[in-house]
Structure 1
Amino acid sequence: MHVVVVGGGIIGAACAEELTRRGASVTLLERDELASGASGRNQGLWVPPEDPALHAIASRSLARYLEIADDAPLPFRIDPHPVGTVFVAVDEEDLAEATDTLATVSAGGFAVSELDDAALVEAEPEVARDLAAAWFIDAGHRLDPAALTVTLALLAASRGAVIRHHLSARALVTDGDHVTGVVTDEGEIKADEVVVAAGPWSPRLLEPLGIRLPVLGVRGWLVRVDPREPLLRHLVRTAEGNGTVASSLAGDIARSGFPTSDGYGSIVHPHPDGTALIGSSRAAWLTPEPEDPSVPRQLLTNAIRIVPRLADAVMLSSWWGLRPMTPDERPVIGRVRDGLVVATGHGSEGVINGAGTAELVASVVLGERPPFDASLFDPFRFA
């Protein structure tokens, strides 16, 4: 069986790796370079999803990453053991959301313990003391997302996959209701199955076939700072702001069902190179403009609120990536036509759910039993 995978981010690369592992012949098409989009421009973390529907797919992803780390053709960095997360509620208003999030994380099998003042000082001396509450989650792995993406593609190539860079998929080829290939800048590539894993650009390929998926490109910003000396041993994060996009969305987007409330979360990631990465934000593709400094400024303000000594850090850079978001913040994974499978809409959790997504995609393509409940990710659930 020959499968064409469209998209060279973490999802497409993972699908290529898993399909070749199961014996399929694969051609992977990437319009730019591998991991050139959000897959290479994210915080590089595996943390437990806040949605219980994603626990199975996420845990299978982490297991696969750890499995390939030792023998990867391109060494990539991943913490072999959890670095741990200090989870904080800044004020009383945050407590309800934090409690809900922690209950979900705990239900996923991760140890959660509340930290009193003394325990918080012992765990992270630099975290602010005037917070409403703090907990420790025994979870959180740092990794290099770009290197992981390339590693997955190289593993696929070692089994015969053809990796095509700078080759765009322009259209899908059909014979009646059956998809039979992909039109590229260099002509048609025939396929028994096509997997569209092109992130926020996936709908462009699907819409000419009458397939409309509510996947929106959502801009997520990151800031890298040099704190001058190591400040943190664990990830430090809040719940506030998760799952939101800017309220200034155009009306047609708001009517499509996407959440539209303001909000910025805060997560401080002590990078092994001594710098710190700061997130997180979600803003609609339409706003704010990429050069608008207000989002990085807000991220820094939020981070300083929970780690005050970051006020002395030197800002090194800021950047953003486009994340493919659905209204319910769950990915769309499954068959949408004969010969056509889609895997997109992972939002900010493509790395968290990448390899698990690939297992489900391979099962659908090869007609095998799914490894977990596939109905949760039904592409037609928004119809």
Structure 2
Amino acid sequence: MKVLVLGGGVIGVSTAYYLAKAGHEVELVDRQSGAALETSFGNAGEVSPGYSAPWAGPGVPIKAIKWMLMQHSPLVIWPLLDPAMWRWGAQMLANCTEKAYALNKSRMVPIAEYSRDCLKALRAETGIAYDDRAQGTLQLFRTQKQLDSIGGDVAVLKQYGVPFEVLDRAGFCAVEPALKLTQEKFVGALRLPNDETGDCHLFTNRLAEMAAALGVKFRWNTRIQALQVGGGAITGVHTDAGLLQADKVVLALGSFSPQLLEPVGLRIPVYPVKGYSITVPITDAQYAPESTIMDETHKVAVTRLGDRIRVGGTAELAGYSLNLREGRRATLNHVVSDLFPRGGDVSKASFWCGLRPMTPDGTPIVGPTPVQNLLLATGHGTLGWTMAAGTGRVIADLVSGKQPEIDVSGLAMSRYRQ
């Protein structure tokens, strides 16, 4: 079967790879000159099934107000005259209930855990390397109130059988020795030992090479203009290189997915939430992080990627703007300097931003659509890297007419009609 994959980020390339492994003729199309040059380029580096939880939850609206009043705020909103922004915001608020949180979490955890397992199997089978480490994630708490409030999170981890440890200062310094210099700033930590880290851009490019070896054709520098529909199916994809046709089409265009779907009568609540990162060269490895540290106060992740430290976080609602705002850089500089003052040279850091494709319920949109030969793989938000391998495998199974190994009934866009 011939399959067109639209989008060359980590989701699109992973999907193309697994489709080719399943024996399909695959062509991937993207406007960029290569793989993972947009949202997948400079993310925080976490493969964190243990943190697969929706942003929308009980108490979040009040927390959001407090966050926006902080000097180094994890959340910034630039109100726009954009109906999609306000619709998305209203839907997110509607999901800030205990019932919705539990349902959304139950949909997110299985695909995240499955994806990590697929990634491990991929490493074992191919030997793919991408500055990967499997040393867990450490969530650091600056106040006793934060530490005391993790009961709900711990209950969810227990429910889904996710291993965890609650650590005191001696405990978190044992797994992250460089924190001995700054341990007095934190009262404790929650550790998820099964989480991993890695360079998403490096992974995606190496996987693209493997996909090409399996026969995947890559059309870079090709702009996707519109979907052509007839008889309830996609009959072609208009691009600036002409009309492309296939038996199946997989749309993996992240935040830009709604723009292609709306003209054919499909609406999905995916909206861009901008994230920022800096990449800092390590100056003294013994004072740098071993894996990923999440600063709970600032919602910023600090990750070891080879000889670099990746610092990623903040959430900015500003439409499709890619303006690099110095205020966000100051927050990232502050966190990494506060945690690892001798680890890296922030004066030599590179600064980046990308548009995370967020759904209001936090769950990605993976699976079929009312258009019979069109499938979606989008809306992964901050968890695209975490969920990429599993998403690719699920899509390949669906295209092949196989039952996926996990329940994906709650991931399709049909949930928004219920």
The match for 2:31 is 31
From 43, 50, 53, the equivalent of 2:52 is: 50
Say whether 1:293 aligns with 2:323.
no
Aligned CA distance change for structure 1 residues 97 and 21 (closer, same or farther; 3 Å): farther
The match for 1:100 is 152
Question: Normalising by structure 1, what TM-score?
Answer: 0.85
CA apart distance, 1:277 = 1.7
Identity across the alignment (%): 29
Aligned residues: 357
The match for 2:91 is none
**AA in 1 matched with 2:225:** R
**AA in 1 matched with 2:247:** D
User: Which 10-residue stretch deviates more, 209-218 or 61-70?
Assistant: 61-70
State the Cα deviation string for residues 20-41 of structure 1 (Å, max 9, x = none).
Answer: 1111111110111211111122
**Aligned equivalents of 2:136, 2:403: Cα separation in 1:** 34
CA apart distance, 1:364 = 2.3
User: Which 10-residue stretch deviates more, 336-345 or 281-290?
Assistant: 281-290
Say whether 1:141 aligns with 2:203.
no
1:236–1:269 contact (8 Å) kept in structure 2: yes
Question: Normalising by structure 2, what TM-score?
Answer: 0.78
5+ unaligned residues in a row in structure 1: which ranges? Answer: 241-263
Please give the root-mean-square deviation of Cα atoms over the aligned residues, in Å.
2.5
5+ unaligned residues in a row in structure 2: which ranges? Answer: 54-104
CA apart distance, 1:343 = 0.9
Aligned CA distance change for structure 1 residues 220 and 381 (closer, same or farther; 3 Å): same
**Aligned equivalents of 2:302, 2:294: Cα separation in 1:** 6
Aligned CA distance change for structure 1 residues 380 and 334 (closer, same or farther; 3 Å): same
**Aligned equivalents of 1:190, 1:68: Cα separation in 2:** 30
User: Which 10-residue stretch deviates more, 113-122 or 10-19?
Assistant: 113-122
**Aligned equivalents of 1:175, 1:120: Cα separation in 2:** 58
The match for 1:243 is none
State the Cα deviation string for residues 229-274 of structure 1 (Å, max 9, x = none).
Answer: 222323221344xxxxxxxxxxxxxxxxxxxxxxx4022112320x
**AA in 1 matched with 2:135:** V
- Higher RCO (CA 8 Å, separation ≥ 6 residues): 2
The match for 2:19 is 19
The match for 2:170 is 118
CA apart distance, 1:71 = 5.9
Say whether 1:269 aligns with 2:271.
no
Aligned CA distance change for structure 1 residues 296 and 108 (closer, same or farther; 3 Å): farther
CA apart distance, 1:227 = 5.4
The match for 1:255 is none
Secondary structure, counterpart of 1:195 in structure 2: strand
Following TM superposition, where does structure 1 have runs of at least 4 consecutive aligned residues deviating by more than 6 angstroms? Answer: none
CA apart distance, 1:163 = 1.0
**Aligned equivalents of 1:176, 1:163: Cα separation in 2:** 28
The match for 1:208 is 263
CA apart distance, 1:363 = 2.5
CA apart distance, 1:346 = 0.5
The match for 1:88 is 140
Aligned CA distance change for structure 1 residues 157 and 234 (closer, same or farther; 3 Å): closer
From 129, 145, 158, the equivalent of 2:184 is: 129
**AA in 2 matched with 1:282:** A
**Aligned equivalents of 1:98, 1:305: Cα separation in 2:** 23
Higher helix share: 2
**Aligned equivalents of 1:136, 1:104: Cα separation in 2:** 14
CA apart distance, 1:310 = 6.3
The match for 1:67 is 121
The match for 2:412 is 378
User: Which 10-residue stretch deviates more, 48-57 or 306-315?
Assistant: 306-315
Secondary structure, counterpart of 1:369 in structure 2: coil
Say whether 1:10 aligns with 2:10.
yes
State the Cα deviation string for residues 155-214 of structure 1 (Å, max 9, x = none).
Answer: 322222211111122111211211122111121111111110011111111111110111
